[in-house]
A and B are shown apart, each in its own frame.
Chain A
């Protein structure tokens, strides 16, 4: 029998490494993409409010924890999370350091208003007709939610509906700690 050389071991390890990478790829979610915008300054925007048509400027809320929720009337998952969003805003209604905005994505004002009439509303919504805000935040689809700290830095991004465990987790581990932070601390 031939002896196994270092060359053979190297080759086997290399092939095993490649096999491992491909195997890992088999079980990964092809739509799961690493969020690149976390810990980056939240892109500022000035866009009209859905009802008032007065511009909402994000940078005016520096010193507050801001939750941005991207949604659309045609989005089925948004309907699932909507009551949780209403509950989230109600949970912090007495906290002046908290503000929440919806960002209406690729939608029509008429349909967005009808949606809010049907499912209820207790926070303001920004219109993003040309998709500039969504692209600035690297949004792929809806719903997506961003939590911005008091210094205006994006600290959390959630893809998908906020409901059930995600809802309680976002309050306890994401928003509450940020509210406890000072506006000048990181």
Chain B
């Protein structure tokens, strides 16, 4: 029993040793050249900034996700500026100064953008308030509903109504 167990362990270890370096190589290869050379904190910052910037020539893709030439060039510029010591906010401000608010993937919390951020909550509040008002109205016991009459019913019958009722009764006979 011991021999087969050893064999299995040996096979597993060989497999692990052959897979791990390949995984590391694959991960390194998938990274942009500048990123692969950069230290962990720069890589993390590049990822963070790139995920907040829109690829200007793609629809709904960040420059981190896109492989368009412009996105790659923008990523390179982000990296250069990070190496130069600029903060993520400074880098984002640079791109906004060139391309406008459009370049920021998440709309900034100001101006007309406030409508985008607050609009759903405002509509939800209005809807909720209206629903609350109506539900309260439906559930509250109404004196009118109990009696089954309203003020108009208390008015005396005029001559025209009296004649109409009499005619209708006559036609039923």
Contact = CB atoms under 8 A, between A and B. Distances in A.
A140 B57 contact: yes
A135 interface: yes
Nearest to B73: A131
A5 to B, nearest CB: 12
Contacts of B115: 21
B99 A138 contact: yes
Interface magnitude class on chain A:
20 to 34
A141 B55 CA distance: 12
Contacts of A134: 70, 73
Nearest to B112: A21
B67 interface: no
Interface residues of B, number: 17
A106 interface: yes
A36 B97 contact: yes
B73 A136 contact: no
B130 to A, nearest CB: 9
B126 A138 contact: no
Most chain B CB within a 10 A radius of its CB, from A21, A34, A132, A135: A135
A21 B102 CA distance: 18
A11 B73 contact: no
B56 A140 contact: yes
A130 B72 CA distance: 9
Task: Name B's interface SS.
Answer: helix
Interface string A1-37: 0000000000100100010010000000000011011
B98 A136 contact: yes
A37 B98 contact: yes
B138 to A, nearest CB: 16
A134 to B, nearest CB: 8
Given A11-B126, A141-B57, A36 B98 contact: yes
B77 interface: yes
Given A11-B126, A141-B57, A36 B99 contact: yes
Contacts of A131: 69-70, 73-74
B61 interface: no
B76 A130 contact: yes
In this complex, the member of B70, B96, B115 whose beta carbon has the largest number of chain A beta carbons within 10 angstroms is B70
Contacts of A138: 98-100
Contacts of B119: 18
B119 to A, nearest CB: 8
Contacts of A18: 119
Nearest to A33: B102
- Of the candidates B69, B97, B119, the one having the most CB atoms from chain A within 10 angstroms of its own CB is B97
Given A36-B99, A138-B99, A138-B100, 18 more contacts: A11-B126, A14-B126, A18-B119, A21-B115, A33-B99, A33-B100, A36-B100, A40-B97, A106-B69, A106-B70, A131-B69, A132-B77, A134-B70, A134-B73, A135-B70, A135-B73, A136-B98, A137-B98
Interface of A: 11, 14, 18, 21, 33-34, 36-37, 40, 106, 130-132, 134-138, 140-141
7 closest A-B pairs by beta carbon, nearest first, are A131-B73, A138-B98, A36-B100, A138-B99, A106-B69, A140-B56, A33-B102
22 contacts: A14-B126, A18-B119, A21-B115, A33-B100, A34-B100, A36-B97, A37-B97, A37-B98, A106-B69, A106-B70, A131-B73, A132-B73, A132-B77, A135-B70, A135-B73, A135-B74, A135-B77, A135-B98, A138-B98, A138-B99, A138-B100, A140-B57
